[in-house]
């Protein structure tokens, strides 16, 4: 979807998105556009609705009102199966607490994402191994998540998210559960990915992560966007 | 199935060893219980009819006088439209085994004293009465004999293939085999060529009718056959309905209990499997969220969960079926050998195996489907945050209120835990209530069975029949009163009753009932009373529940009995646990009132003796025979073995069900606590000592266990109160109130404590492993 002024393609467009949980309002009329190749950081106090925002974009939950378009797809038009296909093809997700499948070793955790799209097991493993190699954890491929360090787990999670070459990478406090060294490594990883063109939307508490990785900062409070600013990246 | 689904489910099966193992074990144990329960249900529902059909039993065994009707005439007469099959005519003679019970010479069989019917028959098969030759072979010529015995029974000394059978008036015969006939057409069979040497006195005809459902149909069949035969040529006849009544009355009494166990086993197996499987799905919600987040479709998630529980489910089902078949065979044999003398082939029907093999996986599938469909609907965002979601408002409120109490903080936290996750708490509580209810009910059932068995037990160990010259027996020389006195004086005799069975007419004149007029110690030898008391004076009668039902009478009602034109009004003063629909027990004075001008003694045809504890029945019977050769003493059915087998089999089932219930509770407690490992790590990280963590876990499970026990025990008692009497009623019997009072406070307390203990044990296993992990590891593992 090319916009009228001919600038980069809009990957994400939110229009008046509202989300209520019972009586409480988690998102209160959020509108937002993200263009291809951008790296956007979302910041705000705990409980302000950052994760909810990400979940709306990932199609993990549906808004009470408003619309979400991602990569030309109107998520409201998709049924549950449609949303699953959308998640596996268009987006990759990284969580604060990794959310790896404990029953599978690192390599299979990553390969599983490709197998879902119909790739053969052998092919999927080959690509998974390449990714793990790129992320510097190929030697840990046969280790189960419980035995991996936090940084290693998050790198496995990133590899899994990248497996199907997503149009959009979503990260919810990707360094939130990591020590500063592991956090640095993940940050570098995200910067590298964005530099080779990966569109990135990340939620963080860490101003360093925002300023190092993001080109734009969105601040959220009480379910509303309160400020938007362009960032000069500080390498 | 896509590769991703298969990979994810296989990994889950392999890595969740405890869960996989418990699902497999619960399904296995439930399957064993199911096979045994279905086998019992099946075998108990129609033991007589099944074997009777297998053997193509004779609906009627008729004997004719060969001097009045020739074989050709009989064959001709049997040719009737209502007669579907005929066997015979076979020559028959009744020989009497000698009373001498002195030790026989080696290799010589001395059968129990009394008449023995010998029939000449060339072939054990044929259209009617396919005799089951279960040992040795059939007779091939003169000098050989096949003895009628149900499998596993030994009636005579040295009774084995190869022994010689010595019968008066017959040449020595070699036993070549043992066979059983449910129609009881003979006590022994010889070759037809042998018969002339035995001087046959009767001819036997075995008949099957197109319609033989009732007494009148069987009688009509007999009338049609005898219509064309010379007058008085019929010597006697035996309807299969009479045999069936005799043989199945004891078995029938236990059918309701076996049914109750069967139904209970079925229900509990299904419910516990459902609970365990749903537990696995409910506790996997974060896993479900992850699968959804990386793009598994809802259907694929459902598929992963179904495969995950079906793998151990199918393995458990197959192994359980094999074990169940292995266990059911000896159990069924034991149960049925106990009360029908081994005539019935209580084998496990193939349909039981087929139904279990197909049904159990379906149960597992359905049990998993309901929660799996919940997983289908569960929003991915909600599922993925399930592990770290904040407590519900109610949970926090309870927690706050508890923290205000003076309880140690670990205890109050533990008490609050169940409120934090109401869904999982409900799951655990369901397992607990189900478990305690099952054990309560099964234990009560088994106690009721024991009480019933004890009450219904015959208090008669030896019955002496009065010899009848009409069938070639010696008649007693002593008078009725002298015999009674003699029996009382014999060593070992505790109580003696003289019994006079007499056919009577009831009011209206159409109904015939059998009156048993009893003299002597009948009050001490009676079976347990459901209502009222034992009879005392003239005009008082006692009947069984089936009589009360059939004739619409109750304790306190009066009715009229008639004998030889004399009428007497009698009052029902008591209702017994045992008895049949057409039997009335009455006092001796009542009989005297019917026949004041004649001696009532002529009606007495048997004496019942209850022996002192530990007395030897065989020795007593020998003493009777020695004292009065005109009496034919015989051992009364070994009912103690019935007690043992019934109580034994109900204990086996109770044990199986208890195991299943305990496993269910254990599994749920394990899953529930494992879920909370992260919470435990968190609490340790804020300064809780490992001991405090343990106290908290134990408190939370103990509280649940207590609630489960307090709900489950009354439920089990109510179920017992509702189900047992109605099942007993279904077979036309009833239980005295005393037999329903099987509950005792100490047992119940123990039961609740056992429930608590299992729940706590189930919680301690994962709590201890969590305590051994470092805090960082626990926190990281989510
Ligand atoms: N599944 C849910 N059910 C109920 N309330 C929720 C749920 N998810 C989030 N919330 C509520 O919505 C608000 C925003 O939550 P969230 O988006 O997780 O905040 P954060 O900015 O810390 O990520 C919070 O008040 C939270 O309690
Ligand atoms: Mg958040």
The C-alpha atoms of residue B732 and residue B706 are separated, in whole angstroms, by 39
The C-alpha atoms of residue B80 and residue B57 are separated, in whole angstroms, by 18
The C-alpha atoms of residue B289 and residue B580 are separated, in whole angstroms, by 65
CA A201 from centre of chain: 6
Q: CA-based angle A172:A177:A180, to the nearest 5? A: 110
Structure confidence by residue, pLDDT tens digits, B43-57: 666 667 777 777 788
Whether A82 is in a domain gets the answer yes
The answer to whether residue B193 scores a pLDDT higher than 50 is yes
Question: Does the beta carbon of A21 lie inside 6 Å of ligand 1?
Answer: yes
Q: Which tokens belong to B428?
A: 């655990």
Cα torsion through B500, B506, B510, B513, rounded to 10: -30
Residue nearest to atom 7 of ligand 1 (CA): A21
Of B289, B384, B389, B396, the residue with max ligand 1 atoms within 8 A of its CB, to mutate for a pocket test, comes to: B389
pLDDT for A15 equals 94
Residue recorded with tokens 């059918």: B255
Nearest to residue A174, comparing CAs of A164, A182, A163?
A182
Residue recorded with tokens 């049997």: B78
Q: Which tokens belong to A117?
A: 């799209």
pLDDT for B509 equals 47
Contacts of B73-78 with C-beta under 8 Å, sequence gap 24+, read B73/B229, B73/B230, B74/B203, B74/B205, B74/B229, B76/B228, B77/B225, B77/B226, B77/B227, B77/B228, B77/B229, B78/B205, B78/B207, B78/B225
The answer to whether residue B782 scores a pLDDT higher than 50 is no
Residue recorded with tokens 């004997």: B63
Q: Note whether B292 contacts A60, CB cutoff 8 Å.
A: yes
Residue recorded with tokens 């085999």: B177
The C-alpha atoms of residue B146 and residue B136 are separated, in whole angstroms, by 9
Q: B170 by DSSP, 3-state: which?
A: coil
Whether A221 is in a domain gets the answer yes
The answer to whether residue B211 scores a pLDDT higher than 90 is no
> How close A132 comes to chain B (CA, Å)?
17
DSSP A88-123: HHHEEEE-TT----TTS-HHHHHHHHHHHTT--HHH
Q: Give the atom of ligand 1 at the shortest distance from the alpha carbon of A49.
A: 17
Residues near B249 by beta carbon (within 8 Å), at least 6 away in sequence:
B580
Question: Does the beta carbon of A24 lie inside 6 Å of ligand 1?
Answer: yes
Residues near B769 by beta carbon (within 8 Å), at least 6 away in sequence:
none
Residue A42 pairs in a beta bridge with A203, A218
pLDDT for B48 equals 73
Structure confidence by residue, pLDDT tens digits, B281-336: 767 777 888 888 888 888 888 888 888 888 888 999 999 899 888 887 777 766 66
Residue B136 pairs in a beta bridge with B177
> How close B777 comes to chain A (CA, Å)?
8
Write out residues in chain A with pLDDT < 50, as ranges: 1-4, 6
Residue recorded with tokens 């059978």: B165
DSSP B285-317: HHHHHHHHHTT--HHHHHHHHHHHHHHHHHHHH
The C-alpha atoms of residue B296 and residue B376 are separated, in whole angstroms, by 11
Question: Does the beta carbon of A46 lie inside 6 Å of ligand 1?
Answer: yes
Q: B199 by DSSP, 3-state: which?
A: coil
Nearest to residue B466, comparing CAs of B628, B621, B606, B603?
B606
Q: Note whether A85 contacts B295, CB cutoff 8 Å.
A: yes
CA atoms within 13 A of residue A90's CA, in its CB half-sphere: 19
Residues of B in Cβ contact (< 8 Å) with A99? 286, 289-290, 293, 384
The C-alpha atoms of residue B129 and residue B767 are separated, in whole angstroms, by 67
> Could you give the C-alpha distances from A8 to A35, A36, A190, B647, in angstroms and in order?
6, 6, 20, 84
Whether A134 is in a domain gets the answer no
- The model's confidence at residue B155, banded by pLDDT at 50, 70 and 90, is low
Mean pLDDT of chain B: 77
pLDDT for A68 equals 94
Q: Note whether B381 contacts A60, CB cutoff 8 Å.
A: yes
Nearest to residue B211, comparing CAs of B200, B222, B201?
B222
B263 vs B482 pLDDT, higher one: B482
Q: Note whether B294 contacts A102, CB cutoff 8 Å.
A: no
Nearest beta carbon to residue A103 from set B15, B298, B384: B15
Residues of B in Cβ contact (< 8 Å) with A93? 293-294
The C-alpha atoms of residue B549 and residue B537 are separated, in whole angstroms, by 24
Q: CA-based angle B758:B759:B764, to the nearest 5? A: 95
Residues B543, B582: contact at Cβ < 8 Å?
no
The C-alpha atoms of residue B736 and residue B373 are separated, in whole angstroms, by 48
Q: A147 by DSSP, 3-state: which?
A: helix
Question: Does the beta carbon of A47 lie inside 6 Å of ligand 1?
Answer: yes
B765–A contact, CB cutoff 8 A: no
Residues of A in Cβ contact (< 8 Å) with B291? 101
Structure confidence by residue, pLDDT tens digits, B684-717: 666 667 777 778 778 888 888 888 888 988 988 8
Structure confidence by residue, pLDDT tens digits, B717-746: 888 888 777 766 665 666 777 777 777 888
> How close A100 comes to chain B (CA, Å)?
7
> How close A227 comes to chain B (CA, Å)?
26
Nearest to residue B378, comparing CAs of B461, B451, B445, B292?
B292
The answer to whether residue B397 scores a pLDDT higher than 50 is yes
Q: Note whether A81 contacts B297, CB cutoff 8 Å.
A: yes
Query: How much of chain B, in percent, has pLDDT values that exceed 70?
Result: 77
Whether A60 is in a domain gets the answer yes
Residues B610, B460: contact at Cβ < 8 Å?
yes
Structure confidence by residue, pLDDT tens digits, B589-637: 888 888 777 777 888 888 988 888 888 888 888 888 888 888 888 777 5
Q: Note whether B298 contacts A80, CB cutoff 8 Å.
A: yes
Residue recorded with tokens 């075998």: B43
Nearest to residue B553, comparing CAs of B499, B594, B513?
B513
Residue B97 pairs in a beta bridge with B114
- For chain B, domains (ranges, CATH) are 1-59+245-388 (no CATH), 66-232 (no CATH), 391-457+641-782 (no CATH), 462-637 (2.40.40.20)
pLDDT for B727 equals 66
Nearest beta carbon to residue B380 from set A60, A108, A146: A60
Q: B262 by DSSP, 3-state: which?
A: helix
The C-alpha atoms of residue B671 and residue B424 are separated, in whole angstroms, by 9
**Nearest chain B alpha carbon to A56:** B381
Range of the domain at A66: 10-101+154-230
Q: CA-based angle B681:B686:B690, to the nearest 5? A: 55
Q: Note whether B298 contacts A81, CB cutoff 8 Å.
A: yes
Q: Which tokens belong to B737?
A: 């109130």
Residue recorded with tokens 């808004």: A63
Whether A122 is in a domain gets the answer no
Nearest to residue B466, comparing CAs of B456, B477, B455?
B477
Q: Which tokens belong to B265?
A: 């086993």
DSSP B427-471: HHHHHHHHHHHHHHHHHHHHHHHHHHHHHHS----EEEEEP-GGG
The C-alpha atoms of residue B233 and residue B713 are separated, in whole angstroms, by 66
**Nearest chain B alpha carbon to A164:** B294
Whether A106 is in a domain gets the answer no
Residues B439, B268: contact at Cβ < 8 Å?
no
Residues A148, A180: contact at Cβ < 8 Å?
no
Q: Note whether B294 contacts A87, CB cutoff 8 Å.
A: yes
Q: What ipTM goes with this model? A: 0.81
* Burial of B662 (C-beta count, 10 Å sphere; 0-12/13-18/19+): buried
Of A26, A43, A48, the residue with max ligand 1 atoms within 8 A of its CB, to mutate for a pocket test, comes to: A26
Q: Which tokens belong to B342?
A: 């081994």
B269 C-alpha vs ligand 1 centroid, how far in Å?
A: 41
pLDDT for A168 equals 92
Q: What is the pairing mode between strands A168-172 and A10-21? A: unpaired
The C-alpha atoms of residue B17 and residue B774 are separated, in whole angstroms, by 22
Q: Which tokens belong to B321?
A: 């079926």
Residues A91, A69: contact at Cβ < 8 Å?
no
The C-alpha atoms of residue A206 and residue A209 are separated, in whole angstroms, by 5
Q: What is the pairing mode between strands B566-576 and B558-563? A: antiparallel
The C-alpha atoms of residue B317 and residue B28 are separated, in whole angstroms, by 5
Q: What is the DSSP letter of B45?
A: H
Residue B632 pairs in a beta bridge with B465
Q: From the CB of residue B203, how many other CB atoms can be counted at a distance below 10 Å?
A: 26
Query: How much of chain B, in percent, has pLDDT values that exceed 90?
Result: 2
Whether A225 is in a domain gets the answer yes
Whether A19 is in a domain gets the answer yes
Question: Does the beta carbon of A48 lie inside 6 Å of ligand 1?
Answer: yes
Note if the bond before B89 is cis, omega within 30 degrees.
Answer: yes
A27 C-alpha vs ligand 1 centroid, how far in Å?
A: 9
For chain A, how many structural domains are there in total?
A: 1
Phi, psi of B494 (to 5 degrees): -110, -55
Residue recorded with tokens 């495969």: B307
Looking at residues B465-473, what average pLDDT do you find?
Answer: 69
The answer to whether residue B137 scores a pLDDT higher than 90 is no
pLDDT for B391 equals 44
The C-alpha atoms of residue B515 and residue B513 are separated, in whole angstroms, by 6
CATH of the domain at A189: 3.40.50.300
């Amino acid at each position: 979807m090319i916009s009228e002024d001919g600038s980069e393609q809009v990957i994400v467009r939110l229009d008046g998105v509202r989300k209520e949980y019972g009586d409480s309002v988690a998102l209160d009329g959020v509108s937002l556009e993200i263009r291809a190749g951008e790296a956007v950081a979302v910041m705000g106090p705990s409980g302000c609705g950052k994760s909810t925002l990400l979940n709306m974009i990932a199609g993990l939950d549906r808004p009470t009102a408003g619309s979400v378009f991602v990569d030309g797809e109107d998520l409201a038009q998709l049924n549950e199966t449609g949303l699953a296909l959308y998640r596996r093809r268009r987006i990759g997700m990284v969580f604060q607490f990794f959310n790896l499948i404990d029953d599978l070793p690192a390599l299979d955790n990553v390969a599983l994402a490709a197998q879902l799209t119909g790739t053969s097991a052998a092919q999927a493993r080959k690509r998974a191994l390449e990714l793990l190699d790129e992320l510097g954890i190929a030697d840990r491929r046969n280790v189960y998540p419980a035995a991996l360090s936090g940084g290693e787990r998050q790198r496995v999670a990133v590899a899994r998210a990248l497996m199907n070459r997503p149009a959009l990478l979503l990260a919810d406090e990707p360094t939130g559960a990591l020590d500063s060294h592991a956090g640095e490594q993940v940050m570098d990883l995200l910067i590298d990915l964005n530099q080779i063109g990966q569109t990135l939307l990340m939620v963080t508490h860490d101003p360093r992560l925002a300023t190092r990785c993001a080109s734009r900062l969105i601040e959220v409070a009480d379910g509303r966007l309160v400020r938007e600013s362009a960032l000069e990246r500080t390498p | 199935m896509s590769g991703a689904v298969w990979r994810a489910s296989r990994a889950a099966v392999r890595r969740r060893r405890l869960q996989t193992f418990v699902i497999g074990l619960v399904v296995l144990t439930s399957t064993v219980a199911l096979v045994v329960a279905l086998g019992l249900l099946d075998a108990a529902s129609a033991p007589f009819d099944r074997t009777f059909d297998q053997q193509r039993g004779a609906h009627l065994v008729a004997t004719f006088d060969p001097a009045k009707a020739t074989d050709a005439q009989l064959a001709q007469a049997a040719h009737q439209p209502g007669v579907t099959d005929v066997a015979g005519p076979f020559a028959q003679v009744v020989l009497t085994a000698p009373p001498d019970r002195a030790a026989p010479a080696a290799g010589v069989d001395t059968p129990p004293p009394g008449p023995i019917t010998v029939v000449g028959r060339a072939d054990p098969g044929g259209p009617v009465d396919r005799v089951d030759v279960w040992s040795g072979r059939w007779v091939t010529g003169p000098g050989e004999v096949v003895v009628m015995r149900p499998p596993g029974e030994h009636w005579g000394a040295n009774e084995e293939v190869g022994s010689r059978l010595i019968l008066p008036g017959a040449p020595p015969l070699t036993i070549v085999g043992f066979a059983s006939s449910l129609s009881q057409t003979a006590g022994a069979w010889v070759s037809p060529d042998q018969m002339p040497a035995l001087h046959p006195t009767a001819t036997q005809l075995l008949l099957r009718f197109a319609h033989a459902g009732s007494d009148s149909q069987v009688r009509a069949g007999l009338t049609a056959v005898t219509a064309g035969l010379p007058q008085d040529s019929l010597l006697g006849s035996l309807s299969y309905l009479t045999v069936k009544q005799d043989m199945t009355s004891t078995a029938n009494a236990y059918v309701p209990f076996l049914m109750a166990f069967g139904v209970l086993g079925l229900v509990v197996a299904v419910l516990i499997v459902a609970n365990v499987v749903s537990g696995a799905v409910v506790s996997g919600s974060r896993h479900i969220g992850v699968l959804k987040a990386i793009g598994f479709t809802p259907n694929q998630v459902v598929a992963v969960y179904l495969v995950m529980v079906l793998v151990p489910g199918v393995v458990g089902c197959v192994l359980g079926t094999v074990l169940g078949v292995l266990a059911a065979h000896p159990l069924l044999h034991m149960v049925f050998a106990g009360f029908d003398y081994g005539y019935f082939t209580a084998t496990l029907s193939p349909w039981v195996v087929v139904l279990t093999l197909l049904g159990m996986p379906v149960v597992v599938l359905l049990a998993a489907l309901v929660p799996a469909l919940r997983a289908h609907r569960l929003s991915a965002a909600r599922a993925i945050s399930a592990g770290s979601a904040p407590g519900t408002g109610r949970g926090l409120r309870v927690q706050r209120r508890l923290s205000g109490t003076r309880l140690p903080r670990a205890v109050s936290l533990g008490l609050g835990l169940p409120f934090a996750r109401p869904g999982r708490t409900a799951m655990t509580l369901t397992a607990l209530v189900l478990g305690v209810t099952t054990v309560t009910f099964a234990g009560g059932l088994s106690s009721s069975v024991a009480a019933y068995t004890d009450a219904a037990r015959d208090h008669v160990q030896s019955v002496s029949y009065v010899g009848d010259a009409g069938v070639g027996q010696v008649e007693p020389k002593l008078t009725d009163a002298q015999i009674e006195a003699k029996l009382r004086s014999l060593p070992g005799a505790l109580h003696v009753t003289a019994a006079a069975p007499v056919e009577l007419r009831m009011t209206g004149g159409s109904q015939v009932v059998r009156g048993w007029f009893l003299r002597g110690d009948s009050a001490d030898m009676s079976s347990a009373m459901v209502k009222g008391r034992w009879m005392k004076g003239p005009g008082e009668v006692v009947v069984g529940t089936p009589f009360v039902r059939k004739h619409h009478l109750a304790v306190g009602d009066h009715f009229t009995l008639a004998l030889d034109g004399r009428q007497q009004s009698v009052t029902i003063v008591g209702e017994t646990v045992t008895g049949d629909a057409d039997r009335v027990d009455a006092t001796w004075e009542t009989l005297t009132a019917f026949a004041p001008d004649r001696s009532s003694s002529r009606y007495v045809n048997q004496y019942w003796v209850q022996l002192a504890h530990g007395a030897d029945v065989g020795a007593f019977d020998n003493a009777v025979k020695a004292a009065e050769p005109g009496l034919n003493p015989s051992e009364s059915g070994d009912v103690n073995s019935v007690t043992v087998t019934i109580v034994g089999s109900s204990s086996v089932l109770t044990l199986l069900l208890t195991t299943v219930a305990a496993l269910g509770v254990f599994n749920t407690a394990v899953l529930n606590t494992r879920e909370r490992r992260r919470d435990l790590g968190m609490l340790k990280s804020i300064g809780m000592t490992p001991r405090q963590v343990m106290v908290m876990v134990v408190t939370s499970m103990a509280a649940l266990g207590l609630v489960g026990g307090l709900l489950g025990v009354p439920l089990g008692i109510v179920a017992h109160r509702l189900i047992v009497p109605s099942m007993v009623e279904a077979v036309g019997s009833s239980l005295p109130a005393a037999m329903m009072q099987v509950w005792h406070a100490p047992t119940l307390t123990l039961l609740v404590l056992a429930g608590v203990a299992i729940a706590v044990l189930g919680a301690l296993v994962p709590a201890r492993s969590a305590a051994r992990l470092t805090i960082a590891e626990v926190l990281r593992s989510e």
